[in-house]
Each structure stands twice: as C-alpha cells, then as structure tokens.
Amino acid sequence: MTDMALEGPWDIVVVGGGNAALCSAITAAEAGARVLILESAPRPYRGGNSRHTRNFRCMHRGPLSVLTDSYGEDEYFDDLMLVTKGKTDEPLARLAIRSSEECLPWMEAHGVRFQPSLSGTLSLSRTNAFFLGGGKALVNAYYNTAEDLGVTVVYEAEVTHVHLEGDRFTHLEARIGGETRRIEARAAVLASGGFQADTEWLTRAWGPAAANFLIRGTPYNRGVVLRDMLDQGCETVGDPTQCHAVAIDGRAPKFDGGIVTRLDCVPFSIVVNRDGQRFYDEGEDVWPKRYAIWGRLVAAQPDQVGYAIIDAKSIDLFMPSVFPPNRADTIEELAVQMGLDGASLARTVANFNAACRDGPFHPTELDGLSTDGVTPAKTNWARPIDTPPYYGYQLKTGVTFTYLGLKVSDRAQVHTAQGPVRNLFAAGEIMAGSILGQGYLAGFGMTIGTVFGRIAGREAAAHVN
Amino acid sequence: MSTDLIAEARRQTEICNACRYCEGFCSVFPALTRNKAFADGDITHLANLCHNCRGCYYSCQYTAPHEFALNFPAILAEVRQESWERHAWPRPLARFFHECGVAVAAALVAGFALLFGMLQALRPETGHGFYAYLTHGAMVALFLPAFLLPLAALAISLRAYWREIGGKRLQWREVVNAGKSAARLKNLDGGQGQGCNFEREDRYSDRRRWFHQAVMYGFLLCFAATSAGTILHYVFALHAPYGPFSLPKLLGVPGGILLTAGCAGLAWLKTKADPALGAARVWGGEMAFVLLLGATGATGLALYAATGTAAVPVLLALHLGTVLTFFVLLPFTKMVHGFYRFATLLAEEQKQHR
C-alpha cells in the first residue's frame, strides 16, 4: 500500500468491507463525503460474511422486482418475534423492516441484480429476494459502485484501535503492510462483524466445546474492533455467550465452508452420537425450522459430533451434499467407515426399525409417521432404515454469527454510558444483536446490514457536512 | 477421455450442485440440478453447454485461495476442448492446430503458396473479373473437396459426440428452441441481458456478445453470398463478376464488414480477458483462428475494392488462400465450437423436456 492512497484528510473512515460497510460508504460518498474503507481481508476474501449470503428479506406491499404477492410489516415482524422469542428491540426492528422496501430499488440502482428464488427454496419466493450469483456478486457490484464514486479501499488493513475522546471519535490505528498507521477522519462507521472467527473468544464465551466448532463464514471476523469498543465502555446488546450455530457437514473446512456445507438429510435419518446412540427426535419439525437447534444438540454430544444415517429410500429426498456420503451395503460396514462401533450402531438401527410402524409417508409435510416404543421417539417421517445401500453423513456444529454487539440508536449511533458518541456509527453484524437477540430469520442479516449501513452512511455524512 | 479432467470437473460440479447460487446466469446451472451423480457424458454435455461467460467465476465464493479452488469456466473449457480433440479425426492434427497458433499461420502461408502457384500455372487464356486469373472450373476443383471433406470429417465427429451426451432423435420444436438460443446467444447475456464477465473482470459487459453476433451473422451472410453466386452461376447461368446491387454483393459486402470487424473485436477482447479462466493451452490456436476467420472477410473486401486494378491477382491469391486454409482446418480449429454447441443446445432441449 502506498502512502498516497492513505493520505487524508478523510471525512469518513469505514471499518469493514462487507455489505453494511459498502452501503454506508456508497451512501456517504453520494452525499459528497471523502470516504476510506479499511477491509481486513485480502481482496479475494473481501466482503466478510456477505460473500456467503444469498438473499435479502424484504417487506413489500405488492409485487416488487422478483418478489411475488405481498409481505407486510406486521407479518414480517411476527416472523421475527417467532424466531427471536421476543428478544428484539421493537422500534429498531420495525425501522429495519419498514426501510427494507425502499432498499430493494436502491440496491438495484447500485448494481445488485436479483433473480427468482433458487430451486429448492420456493418457500422463500414471497419474502426473500435472491441475488443473481449470490452474495459475492452483490459485494462485487458494491465495490465497483464505490470505486466509481471515488471511495478509496485498502485491503489487508486490520483496525486495532478506534480512539474516543469524550463523546467524539478522533482517529483510529490500523495494521497496514506490517506497520501501524494512524488514520484521522471526521466520522467513523464500524461495520466489522462479530467475533465468531476468534476461537479463543468463542471458547471463553461458550465453553471448551467451541474449539471443535466449524465457522461457516469468513476467518476475518475476529471481533478486534468489537473488543476495543467494549474495553472503552461502549454499550452492548445481545447474549455475550451465545452464537447462532447449525448442524453442517462434518467434513467442511474449519472456516468459510459457506452454503454448500449444509445437510438437509436429518429429518429422513436417524442421528447417532460417537457411541452409536440416538439423542433427539430427528422428525420434530421440517428442517428449515430445526437446523438451528441441531447445532446445539450436536455441540452437546461427546466430541461435538453426530452421524446421520439414511438408507436408499431417502437419498434423493434432499439437496445434494458437497462431499459424497459414506456408503455401504451393511450398517456394520457403514459404521466402520465412519469410525463408529458396528455392533452398537446395528443395535440402535434394529431398535429404531422395530419401533417403526406402517403409515403414509410425506417428505414435504409433517406426516405424523412416528415411532412407537423407542426413546427418543421420532415423531415424523419415521421409516425403517432397511434398504441398502446405506449412507452416512458426519455432522458438526457450524457457527454462523455471534449475538454480542454494540447498542445503537435509530440513527445507528454508538453509545457509551455517558450517551451517544457524536461521530461514531455502527452497522451490520456488529450491531445486529439489537434486533436479532436470538435465532435467525433467513435473509434478515442482509436487511439489517443494508438498512443500518445506509443510515450510518447518511448520518456520518450529515455530521461532516 | 481424460479421466483427470473429468474427475476434476465432476468434483467442481458437485460443489456447484450443493450451492446453486449461479442458477440465473446460464443454462449450465439449471442443467446440473437435474442430477445428483454425474456420468462422463453428463460432464461433457455441461462443458459444451458452457459459453465461457465467466459470470459464475467472478460470483463464486469458492475460488482460490479458498481450498475448494473452484474455477468452473476453466475446467469446463478444458473438458470441452478435450472433447473436440478426442472426437476429431485425425486426432493428433486436431490437438496440434487447436494449440498452436504458429501452425495455423504456417498452414495459411502454405495456402497462399498453393494459390500463387495455381495462378502462375493455370492462368487461363480468357475470362472476366477474377476468372481472368483462375477459371471457374479450377476453383471448383480445388474448393469443392476442400469444403466437403472437412465437413464430412466433422459430421462423423459430431455423431460420436451426440451419442456420448445421450442425444436422441430430433423433434422440430427442439430445433426451433435451440435455434432461438443460438441466434440470440442467450447463454452469453448473463441471464438478464447485462452481458458477461470477460474483458472487464467482475463488471458485466455485452461487448463479447455483440462482437460474436457480428462474426456469426457476418459469416452466415458471406456463406449466403457464396451460395447465391453458386445458384446464379448454375441455375441462371449468370456468371461473375456481379454488380454492386447483385445478391452476392448485397449479402457479401455487409457480411465481410461484420465478419472482419467482429473478429477484430473478439481478438481485442481476448487480449484483455484472463486466460486462466479458459482452456489456457489453446489460447494461441484460438487467437490464430479468430484472426484467420477475420482475414477471410478482410481479404474478400480488399479483393472487391481492388476490382479492375493490377492488385487483383495478388489479392485473389491471398483471399482464396485464406478461405482454403480456413476450410481445410475447419475440423481442427475453434470453428468446431459452433457445431458442438448447437448439438449441445439441441440435446439440452431434449433433456429438459423429455
């Protein structure tokens, strides 16, 4: 990085390089501000977790772009209440929901292209607008738009300290090209994500089991800025010990496995632990409503690992997996392939099969086909595992994001106990805990990032103008 | 069949099938969702369905340095290239000319030499226009086999390819739909008309599609002009030279301009695009082919412009030499892509609707 590129004075420095950061940088640059983006990732990995996203949950009062029918504020809010069990800040949540409708045309005007719902996701065609090419295409479009607006982007720039004096942000320090640089700006937007990629922090918060968790997204969300702000007394929201975790393919890479590591086979399987024992009702509900609890269930098992076993009857009932499953003609053989004890897995399968009863099987709805006389029961889709070849998938816990974040106002302003910091704003995952205190709603992270990114950009620009 | 290439393509295809974010770009991604497991013929089919628009590469969250190291347009280009060479006859010749631009240039020089030699040795006593330098009979004797034999070789290759990808007996509707897709170059429009990611990396551009349209329609117009001339000659006993408002000229002049300009454009874009997202080993051969194809148009226009001047015999030799080289090399150059792609679009129609 040349010194020229970093030469100030900057009106606004944006910390982070994902969706929220870009929305704020673009908004501020359009308002005439001189904007610097500091992205900690190298260029190929720019964009944080936005790289892995695929859609945007959007309120709309009638058909809008690729979205069908309508999705009103109250229905949207009810969906949020359902997943968060009330752990949300209603005014901020309603602000995000209401603003989402005007965001979609804004996104299109800034280079984002949408496409009709992807195959296998028809249930979202009314509520979620899918990005053509996925989140990385969105990130590329925004970087191009920002570049055209004269925004300067520095990659591999890790912000280590954001300096506050009283109720003002004054400057920040960043590691760039092996040196610590001091960068002054008249306002700052923090959009640097959560701390899920810092395994040490995760294990301190969650417990030692977290060392075995896989991180579904970017390895660059290490929470350095979040920690720095906490140390300086900024107000927080969200449970500091919790993260959103789902059950994913156990063979996924430690970081950045993204969408392809999901496994949709659980409802048609039995899931056993390292000792070959079942531990939970695999057929409790349809998978989109249950994949999140399975992250926790697997995390509670020895070695934080599970094994889903299905037979030939079920192999075509779910989306293909990224790696081929283990496959064998007998349960014992499959167990050996997966490192399990053959006899105990065979016993578990036999007990399960003996508890299955006849009845209609409907893979796409709750069919009530439950077991009788086995613990735990499987309450839907309980068919015997009896038709070779048998298939096995290893399951591990995959962390999507952490809930701990900065408390912000409806102007996206960061607060300390003394009140708002006048020229410091936050957007995206770093403040999402305000609205999403628990659970997750598909496409809502991008909504929060876009809405609050734009608010932060607008407010920061208003502050410097 | 190269098992390494197919295996790598299969690995990448399976990752794509678990992701599906690129479904909106082109026909390849909806096609791959039809399968959970991919036979060799399925992979070859997908490879030839890919038009190398590169939208999927620049949108991909799994490109290197990610450990999945996806480069889907490149591996499909490699498999596609290998399928053309494998089905060609004679096979070593195909690999040689596909890869080696210098070989194409050398063939062109040989073509020139042959024509200059013929002009020297077979100069007729009488004749009008260019027939004053080479008789109609001599031209037919040279070009009829030079045109039909390569086409026959290509037809045999395509038949084998059609079997490999599981093609069946054609229905009219399939021909119409595949024709529409080819006529509009639908698979180069990025899915929404924004174009592809070729010379401007992650920004979309429609230039490649426009230049390719110029080449394709320019070539078809030139071909139509030659056909019109043939019909005028044999059916109506109207012999060349034809006037500026005759059918061969009305078709041939715009055709030649489109062909020349389109090829120049494609060659220019090719210098700007990242070679690592295509079949890198054939970059030279592809470039030579584009220039050769453009030269058929450019020399034809030059010949027409020089009518009545002393430059005619030289330009005639250059033009006929270029055209001859183009036809003789047809089964061994990028020219085959049009035939393979159209066959694949037909097969894709069948796979979608049967």
CB-based contact A133 B64, cutoff 8 Å:
no
Same-domain check for residues B182 and B305: yes
Q: In chain B, what residues touch A135 (CB-CB under 8 Å)?
A: 21, 61
Range of the domain at B348: 89-353
If you ran DSSP here, which 8-state letter would residue A123 be given?
G
Given this model, what pLDDT does residue A1 score?
46
Closest CA to B347 of B79, B46, B37, B53: B46
Which of B84, B111, B127 terminates a domain? The answer is: B84
Closest CA to B72 of B85, B49, B54: B54
CB-based contact B65 A45, cutoff 8 Å:
yes
State the smallest CA–CA distance between residue A392 and chain B in angstroms.
16
CB-based contact B56 A133, cutoff 8 Å:
yes
Given a cut of 70, whether residue A310 has pLDDT beyond it is: yes
Same-domain check for residues B118 and B71: no
Which of B84, B105, B124 terminates a domain? The answer is: B84
Nearest CA in chain A to B202: A140
Same-domain check for residues B320 and B335: yes
Same-domain check for residues B228 and B340: yes
Q: In chain A, what residues touch B25 (CB-CB under 8 Å)?
A: 132-133
Same-domain check for residues B308 and B164: yes
Q: What is the mean pLDDT of chain B?
A: 95
Given this model, what pLDDT does residue A414 score?
98
CB-based contact B18 A120, cutoff 8 Å:
no
Given this model, what pLDDT does residue A5 score?
65
CB-based contact A118 B20, cutoff 8 Å:
yes
pTM assigned to the model: 0.95
Q: Average pLDDT, stretch A361-371?
A: 95
Q: Average pLDDT, stretch A269-291?
A: 93
Question: Is residue A381 classed as helix, strand or coil in its secondary structure?
Answer: coil
Same-domain check for residues B166 and B309: yes
Same-domain check for residues B52 and B138: no
Same-domain check for residues B35 and B127: no
Given this model, what pLDDT does residue A8 score?
79
Please tell me which of the candidates A116, A119, A140 has its beta carbon nearest to residue B20.
Answer: A119
Same-domain check for residues B342 and B293: yes
Domain count, chain B: 2
Answer for the pair A305, A212: CB distance below 8 angstroms, yes or no.
yes
Given this model, what pLDDT does residue A465 score?
87
Please tell me which of the candidates B23, B60, B61 has its beta carbon nearest to residue A119.
Answer: B23
- Integer angstrom CA distances of residue A110 from A437, B149, B188: 30, 54, 22
CB-based contact B203 A134, cutoff 8 Å:
no
Closest CA to A251 of A263, A242, A239: A263
- Integer angstrom CA distances of residue B323 from A54, A178, B212, B294: 50, 60, 19, 10
Given a cut of 80, whether residue A318 has pLDDT beyond it is: yes
pLDDT band at residue A273 using 50, 70 and 90 as cut-offs: very high
CB-based contact A131 B21, cutoff 8 Å:
yes
CB-based contact B14 A322, cutoff 8 Å:
yes
**Site from B19, B71, B274, B352 to mutate, A interface, most A CB atoms within 10 angstroms:** B19
Given this model, what pLDDT does residue A3 score?
54
Q: At what angle do helices A90-109 and A444-464 cross, to 10 degrees?
A: 80
State the smallest CA–CA distance between residue A178 and chain B in angstroms.
21
Q: Average pLDDT, stretch A317-346?
A: 96
Q: What are the pLDDT digits (tens) for A161-192?
A: 999 999 999 999 999 999 999 999 999 999 99
Nearest CA in chain B to A144: B203
CB-based contact B30 A119, cutoff 8 Å:
yes
Same-domain check for residues B194 and B251: yes
| Domains, chain A, with CATH or none | 3-239+403-464 (3.50.50.60), 246-398 (3.90.700.10)
Q: For residues A294 and A291, what is the distance between their CA atoms, to the nearest angstrom?
A: 5
Same-domain check for residues B23 and B93: no
Q: In chain B, what residues touch A316 (CB-CB under 8 Å)?
A: 36
Given a cut of 60, whether residue A354 has pLDDT beyond it is: yes
- Other CB atoms within 10 A of residue B155 CB: 11
Q: Average pLDDT, stretch A80-99?
A: 95
Given a cut of 90, whether residue A106 has pLDDT beyond it is: yes
Which of B84, B112, B138 terminates a domain? The answer is: B84
For chain B (354 residues), the mean pLDDT of every run of 10, in chain order, is: 91 95 96 93 98 97 97 98 95 94 94 92 86 90 95 96 96 97 96 95 97 98 95 92 93 98 98 97 97 97 93 94 96 97 98 89
Q: What is the mean pLDDT of chain A?
A: 95
Helix H or strand E encompassing A175 = strand A168-176
CB-based contact B21 A253, cutoff 8 Å:
no
Same-domain check for residues B94 and B28: no
**Site from A51, A124, A132, A315 to mutate, B interface, most B CB atoms within 10 angstroms:** A132
Answer for the pair A319, A118: CB distance below 8 angstroms, yes or no.
no
- Integer angstrom CA distances of residue A63 from A68, A330, B1, B194: 5, 52, 49, 23
State the smallest CA–CA distance between residue B27 and chain A in angstroms.
14
- With a CB cutoff of 8 Å and minimum separation 6, the contacts of A249 are A257, A261, A262, A263, A321, A322, A323, A393, A394, A395, A396
Residues in chain B: 354
Please tell me which of the candidates A115, A136, A316 has its beta carbon nearest to residue B23.
Answer: A115
Please tell me which of the candidates B15, B25, B36 has its beta carbon nearest to residue A133.
Answer: B25
pLDDT band at residue A122 using 50, 70 and 90 as cut-offs: low
Q: For residues A372 and A353, what is the distance between their CA atoms, to the nearest angstrom?
A: 10
Q: Is A134 on the interface with B (CB under 8 A)?
A: yes
